[in-house]
Amino acid sequence: MKPSISLEQMEWMNSLPIRHYLPYTFDNGLEFEGFNAHCSGCEQGIEPNDLRGSLSLLNENRCLLTAKGFCEHCNGITCFNFILTADEHLHAEAVDMDVGGSVN
Ligand SMILES: [Zn+2]
C-alpha cells in the first residue's frame, strides 16, 4: 500500500513546534507554558514535539493558539484551537476554526 500524506499532515510538517513559542509571557506577567494534548482518535497523549502550529497575539492580554497534534499511535491529527486570555488568571477558550479553504 502506498503511504498517503494528507494535506493536514503537510501543514503539520511545515509548522513549527508549538514549544518554539513557549513559555509565552503576557504583558501582565502571566505565563502560558503549554498544555496537555490528547488525540481525539485514540485518546493517547500527544508528545509536545508532535504539537505544531502557531501562537498569535490578538491584543495585549489575548492570544490565539492554533495547533495540530500528530498522534504516532494512530497517525491521526487533532486540531487544538483556543484563545488564551490573561486576566487575573490565565484561561483558555476553545474556538472553532473555519477550515474550509486554506489559501497560501
Ligand atoms: Zn491517536
Dist. CA 47 → ligand 1 center (Å)? 11
What total of structural domains would you count in the chain? Answer: 1
- pLDDT per position as a tens digit, 28-80: 999 999 999 999 999 999 999 999 999 999 998 999 999 999 999 999 999 99
Residue 26, domain member (yes or no): yes
The domain of 23 spans 7-94
DSSP E strands, 1-104: 16-17, 24-25, 31-32, 51-59, 62-70, 77-86, 90-94
Dist. CA 50 → ligand 1 center (Å)? 12
Dist. CA 87 → ligand 1 center (Å)? 33
pTM: 0.82
Q: What cell was used for 71?
A: 498522534
Residue 2, domain member (yes or no): no
Residue 59, domain member (yes or no): yes
pLDDT confidence bin for 1, thresholds 50/70/90: low
Residue 58, domain member (yes or no): yes
Residue 100, domain member (yes or no): no
Residue 61, domain member (yes or no): yes
